[in-house]
Amino acid sequence: MTSDKLRVATYNLQKCVGLDLQRRPDRSLTVIDGIAADLVVLQEADKRVPPRPAALPHDMAESQGWQIVDMGHPAGSLGWHGNAVLYRNGIEVTDTGRIELPGLEPRGAIRVDLDTAIGPLRVVGTHLALLRRFRLMQLGAIRRALAKLDPVPTVIAGDFNEWGDAQALQGQLGPYRILASFPSYPAPRPIAALDRFAIGPGLTATKPRPVLGQPARIASDHLPVWTDLTLDR
């Protein structure tokens, strides 16, 4: 079965701890389910302290019909370096990979190749550094890693941690175009578009939009952001 669009979202869960300081993975999942996305790229999906157990439990996500991309994570973790991908039935994972990212903090990106209703799609999920010079290095590392692979329509999604104009970041991404996006941080009154998508050749996307209602405004300090992707024919 084919479709003309695929809804993709990115969401920094903040380890499922809301602005009320309650750890509520059920509330986080309510937010995720409300996006009506086919695929969700998550950041801070695992707790920070080793062995990094999942902040959003596997069985809770699976009970709502989500499947979890296996990134070879340690027992109990949802993803790798806190990055994870959830997807719905009808999508098939064909390959995965990890991308080590430079910087002072331990950071990484995950790569997932998929067969979807719109065709082959490569998804990269990441959570970039707090310092811009490391963000630039990290995006350069992602671009170089992708350049070594066979070309597939690609979307890069995650918390880019960039408060200002994305022009500097764009210079590191080559053919991957960062989409203009509405502010998504902080959740109660967003002023910064930290949560972003970049798309490569072969893809068209609607302007990314944040989820503005409750409980999204309290479930994390970030709002989830979504876009509908179409494959150029």
Domain-embedded: residue 182: yes
Contact between 187 and 202 under an 8 Å Cβ cutoff? The reply is no
- 83-137 pLDDT per residue, tens: 999 999 999 999 999 999 999 888 999 999 999 999 999 999 999 999 999 999 9
Domain-embedded: residue 107: yes
CATH of the domain at 13: 3.60.10.10
Domain-embedded: residue 23: yes
- pTM, two decimal places: 0.96
- 133-159 pLDDT per residue, tens: 999 999 999 999 999 999 999 999 999
**Number of domains comprising the chain:** 1
Domain-embedded: residue 98: yes
Measured in Å, how far apart are the chain's first and last C-alpha atoms? 17
Domain-embedded: residue 142: yes
What is the pLDDT, as a whole number, of residue 1?
47
Domain hosting residue 10, numbered range = 6-231
Domain-embedded: residue 183: yes
89 CB-near residues (< 8 Å, 6+ apart) = 65, 67
- 5-25 pLDDT per residue, tens: 999 999 999 999 999 999 999
Higher pLDDT, 225 or 77: 225
Alpha-carbon span 45 to 48, nearest angstrom = 9
What is the pLDDT, as a whole number, of residue 76?
74
Domain-embedded: residue 207: yes
Domain-embedded: residue 1: no
- Asked if residue 51 has pLDDT above 70, the reply is no
